[in-house]
Amino acid sequence: MKQKSAELFEVFLWNDNFGTQIPVIDEQHKQLVALLNKLASYLARLSDLLELRSIIAELTAYVDYHFKTEEAIWQEYFQDDLWYRSHLKTHNE
């Protein structure tokens, strides 16, 4: 049996310079990086299709959760800001 740690590697490295200084958003961004690394590890191993579907479902659900959290926070402070509306459009795409 392979060890889990040997199967995972980081393609995307978290750097504190990516931080927003909003703890809930920074933690979610770190989780997104972890999920992207999980997907990259799968692609490097080319494991079974069922595992790929599971990883993609997990990533998709978490991205949806994160976007909703981020948008709720930003709406409170930046509702009339052009940058906020542009970011919303990007999330919707």
From first to last of its 93 residues, what are the pLDDT tens digits of the chain? Answer: 343 444 667 888 888 888 888 899 999 999 999 999 888 888 887 777 888 888 899 999 998 998 889 888 888 777 777 877 787 777 777
Give me the number of domains the chain comprises: 1
Would residue 44 count as lying in a domain? yes
Q: Tokens in use for 15?
A: 């750097």
* 22 within some domain: no
For residue 63, being part of any structural domain is answered with yes
- Domain membership of residue 13 (yes or no) is no
Tell whether 17 is covered by a domain.
no
pTM of the model: 0.68
Quote the crossing angle between the two packed helices 49-78 and 82-92, to the nearest 10°. 160
Domain with 38, as residue range(s), is 30-92
79 inside domain? yes
What is the distance between the alpha carbons of residues 40 and 28, in angstroms, rounded to a whole number? Answer: 18
Q: How far is CA 58 from CA 39, 52, 81, 86, 89, in A?
A: 10, 10, 31, 26, 23
